[in-house]
Amino acid sequence: MAKYNSAKCAKSARIDRLKEELFRKMPEIEADRAVLLTESYRKTEGEPMVRRRAKAFRNIMEHLPITIRPEELVVGAATVSPRSCQIYPEFSFSWLEDEFDTVETRSADPFHISEKTKKKLREAFTYWHGKTTSELATSLIAPEARLAMEHNVFTPGNYFYNGVGHVTVQYDKVLRIGYRGIIDEIRAERGRMDRGDADYCTKSAMLDAVEMSCEAVITYANRYAALARETAQREKDSTRRNELLQVAENCERVPAYGARSFWEACQSFWFVQMILQIESSGHSISPGRFDQYMYPYYKADVDSGKITRDFAQELLDCVWVKLNDLCKCRDAASAAGFAGYSMFQNLIAGGQDKNGEDATNDLSFMCIDATLHVMLPGPSFSVRVWNRTPHEFLLRAAELTRTGIGLPAYYNDEVIIPSLMSRGLTLEDARDYNIIGCVEPQKSGKTWGWHDAAFFNMLKPMELVFANGQLDGVQVGPKTGDVTSFTSFEDFYAAYRTQMNYMISLLVNACNAIDVAHAERAPLPYLASMIDDCIGCGKTPEQGGAIYNFTGPQGFGIANVADALYAIKRLVFEEKKFTLTELRDALDANYGKLSEADAERLTVGVVKELAKNGVEVGADVIAAVYKTVKDKDGDPRYREIREMILAEDKYGNDLSEVDALARDAAYTYTKPLLKYKNPRGGSFQAGLYPVSANVPLGAQTGASPDGRLAGTPVADGVSPSAGMDVHGPTSAANSVSCLDHGIASNGTLFNMKFHPSALAGDSGLENFVALVQTYFEMKGSHMQFNVVSRETLRDAQKNPDKYRSLVVRVAGYSALFTTLSKSLQDDIINRTEQTSF
């Protein structure tokens, strides 16, 4: 008999009403947190930073406005207005002040902000000049690294401007013993300390701060209990009144003490999840293995008949809705990169337990169903897959994939567990991994992983090779020699590696500077209460208190680099179709498709060079240079070169030679990183995924030797370049599995697009599951799917180059969507989403 009950539960009518309430108006910026924080900071000048943080946190917990939204069963909101956000000036603030008047009208993730809020924030911001983590980091980053950042080689923007986040805490511990239990642990730790210990004073200040934070959270929950009682008194509907009274009881009990019921467990979980995001602005606070740590409470209640499975599902669905109540306002540029108000709260179901047995339970299925019921982007829902995952579980996950919501993401235990062990995790910890944010694996409650530390554009070092280390006329990288002097592919590749190695060292420099800034200015005592072994060693995670410490910056553009290297190898050195000089000129001229902005940028570069060499640059010289640049435009030779490149074999089509080069190209990023250490004593580890930074950073990248035009997106994660994989999903997956996923222990991301026809019917689901499992057998580590919608197909009609690999399948026939005539495409668009193929 199965070890679980997978029967589907009904969706409560409440859920749609909760959703409606959440989306009834535009998200708003609220000033309360920033004001309360600043008020406290002004009173605590000169005290130890960790104590100042705790006092400020306490002030927020005691006075932040609270609200219970209509019909909620699980309460607690960081903002009065739904789906809105607080402000965190201790990390950075000037961007917001600059964008006060545009934040409401921008296209990506707009927020309403009232004049009153602006006024309050302006006043609070006056305190913060010179005191933020980003200002400290700026002063610590080496000038060479800053230069590379200015030229968009990499961007550590995430933690440079914001809190860190990217963590899964010990939810299980709070559920079990509550903050009263944690306070007991703190007191026990104090009992073991000797006043003569070298770290006595820092540790004691830190433990006080952690205890103060725990107390503050209990106070905050009690405020909700009181509000629930008050609301109940006014409530006329007796059912709702009883719900509110139960909510009040729950909030009096948790998170101060251990949870005694599934409802209390949901409430306790939610307080932890939300309050972590009030303490700091870091995103990717990931619930992790929710189906595991919540299960004992579910089972006890269902077994004893205290609640029905339907009610348990309703509570889960309520939690799912709440996860979408949290929001974060980013600066305009970052918002474009993270568009969709994403919080990246990754919640994962299934997989094996720490003893290597399958851990799938009722809740694993109910988590899938909650996502189906709620159909919102939060949580970032994932499933773990291993050799003994129940087939039924994978089919249920595939049903979710088929809806086109882009969830779940699939993760491979068989790659990730050994990969984590190679980074020093114990076998048990590695087996108990969950995913942070996008794709980053870690052991919950023990890790400060600095996942997502930076985005590194692997195409920029190639631009540097062509310009002997220069970008826009500035010497950004080492001088690797004039490309015209290279006589072999090996010469070129060696120069690329030299540029890579240097840029990686600068990337590390920037990450470490920011790391230090957070340790110094933004230690997080509340977070520290739920990460081992912060209490034991008297340090917050930022100060090195976690057991596992990493820094994980992301490389992206593997596909472009692989295709570029292959084109150079074949066309320049083997077939001698054109020279590197010709290629360089073609790239400078954007293959003969020069935009006005490109022309100006190139002109500026040449003019700077002239000026440096002592030439007097007047208007006439500038005009002459500009004319020379423009003359290059439209040269048919450049278009011809691009056509030859585009006709070459490309990564993503199961072709051994170019795939092998892709594997090696990925190593130019993943291997050099491994030798570096961070200030917390941990090591660097590479990720290969871009979130959506490949689009904005692609916009800053010139034409590349893979035929990519200037300013267009760079390839997504380890996926083939958009539209370059034209032999279907198995061939693409075969190519991607050629990479060494294990070494990229901070995660890899493989995105695949499907037309719904590929997943139609029961056999469609079966074949889909087989595809995922086969990719995983071949040691791929992550897969996610876009089942395309009508809207996407309409976009494909307009931008066929992006969708060249999209296949429409029917029996005995299949076609690349973009090759069909408009009328047939329309026909398919009309049939899409009926799954009647």
Partner 1 sequence: MDNNSVVGRIFDIQKFSTHDGAGIRTVVFLKGCILRCRWCCNPESQSFRIQRMKTANGTRVVGYDTTVGDVMQQVLRDMPYYRRSGGGMTLSGGEALCQQEFVTALLQEAKAHGINTAVETTACLPFYMIEPQLPLLDTVLMDIKHINSEKHEQFTTMRNELILENAKKIAASGTHLIIRVPTIPTFNDTEEEIRDIARFAASLPGVDEIHLLPYHRLGYDKYMGLEREYGMGELPTPSAEKMERLRRVAESQGLKAVIGG
Q: Which residues are annotated as catalytic?
A: 438, 440
The DSSP result for 428-450, as a single string, is HHHHTEEEETTTEEEETTTEE--
Angle, alpha carbons 87-270-24 (nearest 5°): 60
| Distance of alpha carbon 722 from alpha carbon 390, whole angstroms | 33
Out of 193, 245, 621, 820, which residue is the one contacting partner 1 (CB under 8 A)? 820
Q: Which is nearer to partner 1, 663 or 831 (CB)?
A: 831
Q: Which stretch binds partner 1 (CB under 8 A): 230-238, 292-300, 445-453, 772-780?
A: 772-780
State the alpha helices, DSSP H only, in 10-89: 13-22, 32-43, 49-63
Out of 102, 242, 730, 799, which residue is the one contacting partner 1 (CB under 8 A)? 730
| Distance of alpha carbon 498 from alpha carbon 479, whole angstroms | 9
CB of 757 to partner 1, least distance (A): 8
Number of residues that bind partner 1 (CB under 8 A): 41
Residues 205-234 that bind partner 1 (CB under 8 A): none
The DSSP result for 600-658, as a single string, is HHHHHHHHHHHHHTT----HHHHHHHHHHHHHHTT-HHHHHHHHHHHHS--TTS--HHH
Residue 686: phi and psi, rounded to 5, are: -85, 145
Cα atoms in the 13 Å half-sphere on the side-chain side of 222: 10
Out of 777, 791, 799, 801, which residue is the one contacting partner 1 (CB under 8 A)? 777
Q: Which is nearer to partner 1, 700 or 774 (CB)?
A: 774
| Distance of alpha carbon 817 from alpha carbon 755, whole angstroms | 9
Q: Which is nearer to partner 1, 391 or 612 (CB)?
A: 391
| Distance of alpha carbon 438 from alpha carbon 430, whole angstroms | 18
| Distance of alpha carbon 676 from alpha carbon 684, whole angstroms | 6
Out of 408, 538, 742, 764, which residue is the one contacting partner 1 (CB under 8 A)? 764
Is 660 a binding residue for partner 1 by CB under 8 A? The answer is no
- Burial of residue 237, with CB atoms counted within 10 A of its CB: 0-12 exposed, 13-18 middle, 19 or more buried: exposed
Q: Which stretch binds partner 1 (CB under 8 A): 98-106, 358-366, 636-644, 723-731?
A: 723-731
Q: Which stretch binds partner 1 (CB under 8 A): 105-113, 390-398, 505-513, 807-815?
A: 807-815
Q: Which is nearer to partner 1, 140 or 646 (CB)?
A: 646
Is 613 a binding residue for partner 1 by CB under 8 A? The answer is no
CB of 819 to partner 1, least distance (A): 5
| Distance of alpha carbon 296 from alpha carbon 259, whole angstroms | 10
Q: Which is nearer to partner 1, 637 or 779 (CB)?
A: 779
Q: Which stretch binds partner 1 (CB under 8 A): 82-90, 201-209, 585-593, 808-816?
A: 808-816
Q: Which stretch binds partner 1 (CB under 8 A): 369-377, 524-532, 694-702, 826-834?
A: 826-834
Q: At what angle do helices 262-279 and 200-234 cross, to 10 degrees?
A: 120
Q: What is the residue type of 810? A: V
Q: Which is nearer to partner 1, 309 or 727 (CB)?
A: 727
Q: Which is nearer to partner 1, 50 or 806 (CB)?
A: 806
Q: Which stretch binds partner 1 (CB under 8 A): 58-66, 432-440, 565-573, 770-778?
A: 770-778
Q: Which is nearer to partner 1, 105 or 823 (CB)?
A: 823
Is 727 a binding residue for partner 1 by CB under 8 A? The answer is yes
Q: What is the residue type of 281? A: S
CB of 767 to partner 1, least distance (A): 5
Beta-carbon contacts of residue 301 (< 8 Å; ≥ 6 apart): 261, 262, 263, 307, 312
As given in the structure block, the two tokens for residue 34 are 């920033």
Out of 400, 453, 758, 788, which residue is the one contacting partner 1 (CB under 8 A)? 758
Count of Cβ atoms closer than 10 Å to residue 160 Cβ: 22
Residues that bind partner 1 in the complex, under the rule CB under 8 A: 654, 727-731, 734, 758, 760-761, 763-764, 766-767, 770-771, 773-774, 777-778, 807-815, 818-821, 823-824, 827-828, 831, 834, 836-837
